[in-house]
Amino acid sequence: MKIARIALDVPLPRLFDYACPPELDVATGSRVIVPFGKRRLVGVVVEMSDQSEVDAGRIKPVECVLADAPPLPPDWLDLMRFLSGYYQRPLGETVIAALPPRIRSLKPLPRADRTLWRATPGADPLKLRAGRRRRLLETLIARGPLDEDALLDADAAARSAERTALRALAAAGAIETTQAVSGTGFEPGHALTETQGVALARILRDGTGFGTFLLHGVTGSGKTEIYFHLVADALARGRQALVLVPEIGLTPQLEARFRGAFPDTVVSVLHSGLEETARTSGWLRAASGEAGLVLGTRLAVLAPLPRLGLVIVDEEHDSSFKQQEGLRYSGRDAAVFRARQADAPVVLGTATPSLESYANALAGRYALVELPERASPGAQLPVVRALDLRNEPAEHGLAATLVNAIEARLARGEQSLVFINRRGYAPVLACGACGWTAGCTRCSARLVFHATDRRLRCHHCGLEAPLPRACPSCGNVDLSPMGRGTQRVEEALAGRFPAARLVRIDRDTARRKSLSDTLEEIRSGGADILVGTQLIAKGHDFPKLTLVGVLNADSALVSTDYRAGERLFATLMQVAGRAGRRETRGEVLIQTRYPGHPLYAALARHDYAGFAKTQLAEREAAGFPPFLFEAALRAESRELAEAMAFLRAAAQLVEAPDGVRVYDPVPHVIVRRANMERAQLLVQSAARPPLQGFLRAWSEALFEYAPLHARNVRWHLDVDPIEFD
Ligand code: ADP
Ligand code: ZN
Ligand code: ZN
């Protein structure tokens, strides 16, 4: 009897055996429907076997094979096996987690619809009243032709209203449909500069086979333009290009640039913010090979891509490429694996390489390709200066030099950006009489005061509370906010520059749609001063922005996390990169109590290489990655003692081989989050193979031990962990 071993969407860490009736064509990679208890489930056949450990009498047959999507190909299953083995998650769970929910549900899949909407020539949005129809028409003029998945909102209710608006626009003759054709037409934005040309030639010279390139280009050096040429090359070869970005939902402008450069290519956009049908059709277009360009966040690396011929990871240093739950994979590392599988080049682009990638480049494992200058004619890197807060007092947190610099920009009609990486009004609400501070009842953390709606919020678990009228501990009615966040900085700037148009951008102001509108407004000059968190730092291009002020950066300099410096440098390079991207040279002013700090000095010299080499030397001396490899076992429970006891027992389960060191468990810095107390233990090794061998045996033992002896503990392994909060 033929047995299919099937991954199912159920919380059990194993595959399930089913019999294959001879009349069904069941094979590895088939999507099938099987009976499970009283339910029917969709699963994926991961392996075929001649025997089963389950009693023949208890094995149920596969009910049917689904044919509405291509079967999952062998190289995709290899990728799943690799991820499952490397990150120590059960294969079935890995397979299920990699598929969009709809693909593993009984709901029928959307039919491949090749209808696109486009604006009819001459259609004028200004003739429409402001609103849904006008917005849709504007989008189609800027980005069209688009299919409905790409055009419509992620929210189901908004979608149906938008469909009605589309029908009205079509009836009025403002838009029309057209059928998608797939071509490889390419419309480059600019003729490449000499430096860009050399970099491109360097990457193309190595041919079409596997090779990893670290494209280190300063902000504004025109990396995107190089990506376009690489994608064009892959399309011309008849292959698919996969482009991974940290947060595509926040950067519709990037999507628009790609669609503009490849007007007749089928583009599939994949990220978790998409509405279900849109995500499913995007995935189907990638998996069928129909999409020439697949543009998405880390999860796009998990889509089947039968014609893959190029992989690009933009902002490769960004920590959002690492998944922080379930299968804790690195999208960047998975991208390199896929490129090797497909025998295709992979390009990791960034202005501030991760130290892992930079070390790989220095060691010759990655080819280093550099773009040291800005591409736009006359554009120079900004002047970076530290403002010494020890000598220069700050009023409302703003140094006089910064205030004067903003004033000068206002006078010239230029834009300024004030960057502070903390949202809300003040991170602490305190009682001056007794020292009480507002804390979260579910976390060992303080509540952040939000002034706009006068509420307290926990940034760790989301808890909200009204502002207390008086100190709950002593009754004092005079509670004071301490420290500052974006709202308070906005208030101070509004007080100082009452006539200026202020725009605040952080997670509180930015729902997806409105953020892209806000960004467009800034680009077209509809704002004078921007206040924002790192949401505003990533990748945006504001032509009139010539000044960046940085507040409160110092805390990272004194952090106990050895990665804090690397992250701060990357963030500041990014924000600094927003300034002076055209002819007018930009200026960056950093408020600090450590003006002589080597990190700021390197930043002022735009010296990534110098900074990275110092950091690498420190990491090597201290024994940190990338000079050794790490995994963390994390545990959480209602009681810290339980989590700690579990970790201590776990450490005894399997003896670590030579060269693998298992540390003692330690509580997290913020030990309680959402009423769970957390601890972890770290495992280190100078080489991967012994670590991987140990993790395999350990993980197997943990999956056996935990359900019997640690029922109240939630635990997971994190391989190559990056966050320790
Ligand atoms: P990066 O991604 O490296 O930060 P971008 O690709 O966004 O840089 O390019 C920065 C700016 O330079 C953009 O406004 C882009 O249009 C412009 N640019 C890029 N390449 C060229 C070129 N060859 N000639 C003129 N302008 C260019
Ligand atoms: Zn008090
Ligand atoms: Zn909380």
pLDDT tens per residue, range 103-137:
999 988 887 667 788 888 888 888 888 888 888 88
Residue 221, ligand 1, Cβ within 6 A:
yes
Written as one string, the DSSP assignment of 416-436 is: EEEE-S--SSBSEEEETTT--
- Separation between Cα atoms, residue 321 and residue 297, nearest integer Å: 8
Domain final residue pick, 567, 593, 617: 617
Whether residues 232 and 362 share a domain: the answer is yes
Question: Of 206, 145, 220, 197, which Cα lies nearest the Cα of 175?
Answer: 145
Q: What is the CB neighbour count within 10 angstroms for residue 194?
A: 8
CA 397 to ligand 3 center in whole angstroms: 27
Question: Residue 345 contacts by C-beta under 8 Å, 6 or more apart in sequence?
Answer: 203, 206, 208, 209, 210, 211, 212, 213, 230, 310, 311, 339
- Give a yes or no: residue 462 inside a domain: yes
Burial of 27 (0-12, 13-18, 19+ CB in 10 A): middle
Atom of ligand 1 nearest to the CA of 577: 4
CA 138 to ligand 3 center in whole angstroms: 41
- Give a yes or no: residue 57 inside a domain: yes
Token pair of 658 as six digits? 């030579």
Ligand nearest to the CA of 468: 2
More confident residue, 125 or 335: 335
- Give a yes or no: residue 452 inside a domain: yes
Give the confidence band of 218 by pLDDT, cuts at 50, 70, 90: very high
CA 177 to ligand 1 center in whole angstroms: 33
- Separation between Cα atoms, residue 237 and residue 243, nearest integer Å: 17
Residue 350, ligand 1, Cβ within 6 A:
no
Q: What is the pLDDT of residue 249?
A: 62
Q: What is the pLDDT of residue 512?
A: 54
Whether residues 282 and 363 share a domain: the answer is yes
Highest mean pLDDT among 130-134, 250-254, 690-694 belongs to: 690-694
Q: What is the pLDDT of residue 128?
A: 86
Nearest CA to ligand 1 atom 6: 222
pLDDT surpassing 70 at residue 215: yes
Residue 375, ligand 1, Cβ within 6 A:
yes
Residue 189, ligand 1, Cβ within 6 A:
yes
Whether residues 610 and 535 share a domain: the answer is yes
Q: What is the CB neighbour count within 10 angstroms for residue 74?
A: 10
Residue 314, ligand 1, Cβ within 6 A:
no
- Separation between Cα atoms, residue 262 and residue 253, nearest integer Å: 14
Running DSSP on this structure, what letter comes out for residue 191?
P
Global confidence as pTM: 0.91
Running DSSP on this structure, what letter comes out for residue 711?
T
More confident residue, 238 or 273: 238
pLDDT tens per residue, range 486-503:
999 999 999 999 999 999
Residues of the chain above pLDDT 90, percent: 73
Atom of ligand 1 nearest to the CA of 196: 23
In Å, how far are 142, 168, 490 from 152, measured between CA atoms? 14, 15, 33
- Give a yes or no: residue 460 inside a domain: yes
CA 625 to ligand 1 center in whole angstroms: 33
Whether residues 141 and 290 share a domain: the answer is no
Atom of ligand 1 nearest to the CA of 189: 16
Lowest model confidence (mean pLDDT) among 92-106, 159-173, 657-671: 159-173
CATH code, domain carrying 671: 3.30.70.600
pLDDT surpassing 80 at residue 143: no
Nearest CA to ligand 1 atom 4: 220
Residue 223, ligand 1, Cβ within 6 A:
yes
pLDDT surpassing 80 at residue 31: yes
CA 241 to chain centre: 19
Domain final residue pick, 24, 46, 77: 77
Helix (H) or strand (E) holding 587: strand 587-592
Helix (H) or strand (E) holding 117: strand 115-119
Atom of ligand 1 nearest to the CA of 377: 25
- Give a yes or no: residue 82 inside a domain: no
- Give a yes or no: residue 101 inside a domain: no
Ligand nearest to the CA of 434: 2
pLDDT surpassing 80 at residue 515: no
Atom of ligand 1 nearest to the CA of 539: 4
Of 190, 195, 369, 545, the one to substitute when testing ligand 1's pocket (max ligand atoms within 8 A of C-beta) is 190
As for how many domains the chain has, the answer is 6
Of 192, 200, 224, the one to substitute when testing ligand 1's pocket (max ligand atoms within 8 A of C-beta) is 224
Question: Residue 39 contacts by C-beta under 8 Å, 6 or more apart in sequence?
Answer: none
Lowest model confidence (mean pLDDT) among 39-43, 80-84, 269-273: 269-273
Question: Residue 512 contacts by C-beta under 8 Å, 6 or more apart in sequence?
Answer: 154, 249, 250, 273
CATH code, domain carrying 502: 3.40.50.300
The crossing angle, in degrees rounded to 10, of helices 223-236 and 252-261 is 40
Mean pLDDT of 431-457: 94
Q: What is the pLDDT of residue 8?
A: 94
CA 204 to ligand 1 center in whole angstroms: 20
Helix (H) or strand (E) holding 603: helix 598-604
CA 439 to ligand 2 center in whole angstroms: 13
Helix (H) or strand (E) holding 59: none
pLDDT tens per residue, range 555-568:
888 888 889 999 99
Ligand nearest to the CA of 475: 2
Question: Of 547, 560, 629, which Cα lies nearest the Cα of 588?
Answer: 547
Give the confidence band of 589 by pLDDT, cuts at 50, 70, 90: very high
Whether residues 407 and 436 share a domain: the answer is no
Residue 225, ligand 1, Cβ within 6 A:
yes
Whether residues 520 and 659 share a domain: the answer is no
Question: Residue 537 contacts by C-beta under 8 Å, 6 or more apart in sequence?
Answer: 419, 571, 574, 575, 578
Highest mean pLDDT among 83-92, 134-143, 166-175 belongs to: 83-92
Q: What is the pLDDT of residue 62?
A: 96
Whether residues 354 and 443 share a domain: the answer is no
Whether residues 557 and 418 share a domain: the answer is yes
Whether residues 204 and 346 share a domain: the answer is yes
- Separation between Cα atoms, residue 151 and residue 284, nearest integer Å: 17
Name the average pLDDT for the chain.
Answer: 92
pLDDT surpassing 90 at residue 60: yes
Give the CA radius of gyration of the chain. Answer: 27
- Separation between Cα atoms, residue 413 and residue 584, nearest integer Å: 12
pLDDT surpassing 90 at residue 540: no
Q: What is the pLDDT of residue 296?
A: 95
Q: Which residues of 420-445 are buried (b: 16+ CB within 10 A; e: fewer)?
A: bbbbbbbbebbbeeeebebebebbbb
Residue 222, ligand 1, Cβ within 6 A:
yes
Give the confidence band of 613 by pLDDT, cuts at 50, 70, 90: very high
Token pair of 8 as six digits? 């199912």
Q: Which residues of 162-180 are buried (b: 16+ CB within 10 A; e: fewer)?
A: beebbeebeeeebbbeeeb
Written as one string, the DSSP assignment of 334-403 is: HHHHHHHHHT-EEEEEESS--HHHHHHHHTTSSEEEEE-S--STT--PPEEEEEETTTS-EETTEEHHHH
Mean pLDDT of 512-528: 81
Residue 145, ligand 1, Cβ within 6 A:
no
Residue 217, ligand 1, Cβ within 6 A:
yes
Domain final residue pick, 597, 617, 637: 617
CA 617 to ligand 2 center in whole angstroms: 48
pLDDT surpassing 70 at residue 620: yes
Strand, helix or coil for residue 530: strand
- Give a yes or no: residue 678 inside a domain: yes
pLDDT surpassing 60 at residue 513: no
Residue 541, ligand 1, Cβ within 6 A:
yes
Nearest CA to ligand 1 atom 26: 376
Whether residues 342 and 467 share a domain: the answer is no
Whether residues 229 and 249 share a domain: the answer is yes
Q: What is the pLDDT of residue 478?
A: 92
Q: What is the CB neighbour count within 10 angstroms for residue 386?
A: 21
More confident residue, 156 or 384: 384
Sheet containing strand 16-19, strands side by side: 16-19, 3-8, 39-49, 31-36, 64-65
435: domain range? Answer: 427-482
Q: What is the pLDDT of residue 724?
A: 56
CA 435 to ligand 2 center in whole angstroms: 6
Ligand nearest to the CA of 476: 2
Q: Which residues of 289-309 are buried (b: 16+ CB within 10 A; e: fewer)?
A: bbbbbbbbbbbbbbbbbbbbb
Lowest model confidence (mean pLDDT) among 152-156, 186-190, 261-265, 293-297: 152-156
Token pair of 531 as six digits? 């206040």
Nearest CA to ligand 1 atom 23: 192
CA 225 to ligand 1 center in whole angstroms: 6
pLDDT surpassing 70 at residue 422: yes
Atom of ligand 1 nearest to the CA of 376: 26
Question: Of 479, 490, 433, which Cα lies nearest the Cα of 456?
Answer: 479
CA 678 to ligand 3 center in whole angstroms: 13
Q: What is the CB neighbour count within 10 angstroms for residue 640?
A: 18
CA 670 to ligand 2 center in whole angstroms: 24
- Give a yes or no: residue 229 inside a domain: yes
- Separation between Cα atoms, residue 136 and residue 132, nearest integer Å: 6
Atom of ligand 1 nearest to the CA of 221: 3
Ligand nearest to the CA of 351: 1
Ligand nearest to the CA of 541: 1
CA 375 to ligand 1 center in whole angstroms: 5
pLDDT tens per residue, range 661-677:
999 999 998 999 999 99
pLDDT surpassing 70 at residue 160: yes
CA 469 to ligand 2 center in whole angstroms: 11
Whether residues 449 and 494 share a domain: the answer is no
Supply angle C-alpha 424, 528, 497, rounded to 5: 75
